[in-house]
Structure 1
Amino acid sequence: MKRTLMAAVSVTAMTAALAACGTGDDGSGSSGGGGSSDSLTVWLMDGSAPESWVTELNQAFEAEHGVKVNVQIQQWDGIQERLTTALSEDGTVDVMEIGNTQTVGYANTGGLAELDAFADQPWNQNMLAAAEVDDTLYAVPWYGANRVVIYDKKIWEEAGAEVPTTRDEWVTALETIRDNTDAEPIYLPGQSYYVLGGFIADEGGSFAVEDGDAWKGSLNTPEGRAGMDFYAELQSFSNSPKDNDEASPQQSIDVVPGGNVASWIGLGWEANGAITAIEGEDGSKGEADFGYFPVPGKTADQLGHVFLGGSNLALNQRAGNPEAAEEWLTLATSQEWAQKFVDAQNGGVVPNRTDVTASPEAGSFAEAMVASADVGFLPPLTTGWANVETVPNPIKELMTKSLNGDDYASAAEAADAEITTRINRE
């Protein structure tokens, strides 16, 4: 049977710091040794969870089970290679955090243990889809995160712009800023393709769709064109080149701190990065006065779709201590500890369970982010989706061509052909 997965992009950084718990963590990402009868090795990604939560959780686990937990912090850079190696060896790691786009690949190689015993928990359904392959659970959701619109309150007040609740109001606000200030109304690179994906999802479309036992690109469609048309309308208010993405230059630390950017679309870690760059580590350089609102939808009663990133937790099929690993995963993702995790993040993550609530501070990034969680979109993926995202990314190339005035249908047809070839190549 063909294995498929609806997956979301990995969150490459979160804002809370995670320090080592247990033994063996020097911050280098060293794999170390796996669990034994009296120890357990857990890999967590740098920045994913607050130190206080990890410490308290492991103390509770060790007190109940008499098993020492060795948390080893991994960096996102190069993690796929390290995971591939670890999953091919006996007893290297027991429990691991895996970015959503990675889950299907490791499940398909047989590296992950089946977790059907966890299936009856009240998981967030959007996140659950990123952990299942052919209705078999190979990971459990841990947290999610998505983009919101970040705006400079001072510039918006100076312009007389109102926070929008619809796409049309959003465009009106950008026009008001353009006409009444010298600020750039929105910084939107030409190739922010996950932002585009949300606009296509608003129209009921997707980057690719299933075609029998395979997949095919679906950008040369009315939905794809409509999503790109709205993206182009927003991008017309930006001074950004049409052939770069949000990471080059990094919008949060290389562009926004330069000033005079009225708004941009970003993740929580980007917002915090911009604040630190503007204010300095000790707040002595100045003040960043940002406001936040969810990406508006076509109508006021439906927010815009946003790409729901995040991480799952999984068990190594070749774990050194599989029983303890399952007990640790059970505790870490229980209602009690999932709620503590969200609380420790100050509501700054999307909860993994429906019986967990996020209560972010009013007016915060987290408040805007959590509001959009129910309309998070997950691009259709197989293992071959990673081939689509490699350079040169055909979706990015389409966006630049379209923004430069090329015929959309011709450019989208070429992009679809390339997506179809790549996504079906494992």
Structure 2
Amino acid sequence: MKRQLIAAVGVAAMVVGLAACGSDAKKDENTNASGNSSAAAGKYNGKTLKVWLMSGSAPKGWDEAVKTEFETTYPGSKVEYQIQEWTGIGPKVTAALSEGSVDVLEVGNTQTAGYAATGGLLDITKDKAAIGGADWAANQSESAILDGKQYAAPWFVTNRVVSYNKDLWAKAGLTATPKTLEEFYTSLEKLKATEGVVDPLYMPGQEWYVYFGLLTSEGGKLAKKEGDKWVGGLSSPEAQKAFETYKKIQSFSTTGLKDKDEAKPQQKDVFGAGNVGAIIGLGWELPDEKAMAKDKIGFFPLPGKTADKPSGVFLGGSNLAIAQASKNTDMAKDFLKIALNDKNEGAVAAAGLIPNKASLNDKVVGDFASAAKLASGVGGITPTTPNWAAVENDPNPIKEFLTGALTGDYNAAAKKADEEIAKRLNAKQ
């Protein structure tokens, strides 16, 4: 299975306490020794909530902190985590949802629509505000909405940034990071002319996530719905404008083959050789410290056409959902409330991920994440449809479009890709 763009996370929540009573005497009557309302104290006594998290998702200590907060808020309750592996997770989730053997689960944001369409996820539209969703980032929440209904809560995202070799940039006389695309091109030209630089930028031709971000900047879509049918969007004027920018950026990658993606070879290996000026990628695509010390790598978001806004990005991340077949849906909603409160979302930000609220972005920690958050507000997701995974299956028509457009006729490549995208999105499940 392809490496996921992001890890995912578990969930948690806390129910809103009873409204304050008119007198201190009445308040004391409804509060136990632990400070919990008597109603909350016995609400889930003797019940166990089963929560699935994906391997590597939750920041260190996050799951236990959420568990403790929930079990303290609701004495007698129990939260039971199961850690799942990404490989082969699809069939396992499908089975668990149909059997009702899981209450809360993490799902990738591009997978959510598929599970929702089959009836596996609980519609939480009416519960969104109570769970804390009034100020969720709209471009993150979008991935959890299907046919106007909310089927999950956004948990976190991450996105690609420019990671650059500080030593090579200094050698090229570059003392500041670029703020516009034109400045970025100028920086790459200087790197290209610098002795010892094999490639100013390594970016193979099929890096469709970078193209997706540029398309988002132009206001375009990979596909859109017209009536009850999906149509591809690569033949649009917006898609062509985005491609011109993509083509310009890719032209600086002399070793990045036009018919390859970022996985073969992996960018961390290419960048780790020390003779490449920059890559555009995710945090896990960086070389380990044996290959390149952390303090030798700098970060900035891919600039936009003007200095006031970076280029768009693909937001890869995880959502937290409740199983439709769960027998503990109220308990699960309260768990989500705790898992997504500002304290626990702040822990997500402190681990270097982008939280689901812009108001918490000031808590984001880490050089890579600090650069990523600058573009997260102008990021987007792939079309929300249960058939989207079919588009990404090999042979991926977007990758083939990029190779075709880079090496031949844009219009012909776009037309072919649009037809294939529409065919896959409109196929009956």
Whether 2:426 is the aligned partner of 1:424: answer yes
> In angstroms, what is the RMSD of aligned CA positions?
2.1
Aligned position for 1:369: 372
Contact 1:315–1:325, Cα closer than 8 Å, also in 2: yes
Cα distance change of structure 1 residues 287 and 100 upon mapping to structure 2, 3 Å threshold: closer
SS at match of 2:123: coil
Aligned position for 2:204: 189
Aligned position for 1:321: 328
Whether 2:278 is the aligned partner of 1:278: answer no
CA-CA distance at 1:210 after TM superposition? 1.8
Aligned position for 1:172: 186
SS at match of 2:110: helix
Aligned position for 2:417: 415
Contact 1:11–1:311, Cα closer than 8 Å, also in 2: no
Greater shift in the superposed pair: 334-343 or 157-166: 334-343
Structure 2: gaps of 5 or more residues: 11-43
Contact 2:165–2:277, Cα closer than 8 Å, also in 1: yes
Aligned position for 2:172: 159
Aligned position for 1:263: 278
Aligned position for 1:25: none
Q: Which of residues 59, 67, 92 is equivalent to 2:77?
A: 67
Listed one character per residue, the Cα deviations across residues 286-320 of structure 1 (whole Å, up to 9, x for unaligned) are 66510000111011112100001111000011124
SS at match of 2:355: coil
CA-CA distance at 1:375 after TM superposition? 0.4
TM-score, length basis structure 2: 0.85
Q: 1:14-413 maps to which residues of 2 (within 5 A)? A: 37-65=46-74, 66-90=76-100, 92-120=101-129, 121=133, 122-161=135-174, 162-183=176-197, 184-238=199-253, 239-252=255-268, 254-271=269-286, 274-278=287-291, 289-343=296-350, 345=351, 348-361=352-365, 364-404=367-407, 406-413=408-415
Amino acid of the residue matched to residue 152 of structure 1?
Answer: N
| Alpha-carbon distance in 2 for matches of 1:410, 1:357 | 42
TM-score, length basis structure 1: 0.85
Cα distance change of structure 1 residues 36 and 317 upon mapping to structure 2, 3 Å threshold: farther
Percent of residue pairs identical: 43
| Alpha-carbon distance in 2 for matches of 1:133, 1:59 | 33
Contact 1:114–1:137, Cα closer than 8 Å, also in 2: yes
CA-CA distance at 1:324 after TM superposition? 2.2
Structure 1: gaps of 5 or more residues: 1-8, 19-34, 280-285
Structure (1 or 2) with the larger CA radius of gyration: 2
| Alpha-carbon distance in 2 for matches of 1:201, 1:79 | 29
Amino acid of the residue matched to residue 294 of structure 1?
Answer: P
SS at match of 2:99: coil
SS at match of 1:150: strand
Amino acid of the residue matched to residue 335 of structure 1?
Answer: D
Cα distance change of structure 1 residues 323 and 101 upon mapping to structure 2, 3 Å threshold: same
| Alpha-carbon distance in 1 for matches of 2:190, 2:123 | 54
SS at match of 2:94: helix
| Alpha-carbon distance in 2 for matches of 1:79, 1:247 | 21
Cα distance change of structure 1 residues 288 and 245 upon mapping to structure 2, 3 Å threshold: farther
Contact 2:7–2:318, Cα closer than 8 Å, also in 1: no
Contact 1:151–1:264, Cα closer than 8 Å, also in 2: yes
Give the number of aligned pairs.
Answer: 385
Aligned position for 1:26: none
Amino acid of the residue matched to residue 124 of structure 1?
Answer: A
CA-CA distance at 1:323 after TM superposition? 2.9
| Alpha-carbon distance in 2 for matches of 1:355, 1:287 | 28
Listed one character per residue, the Cα deviations across residues 213-270 of structure 1 (whole Å, up to 9, x for unaligned) are 1110111222222222221211121111111111222212x32222211100111222
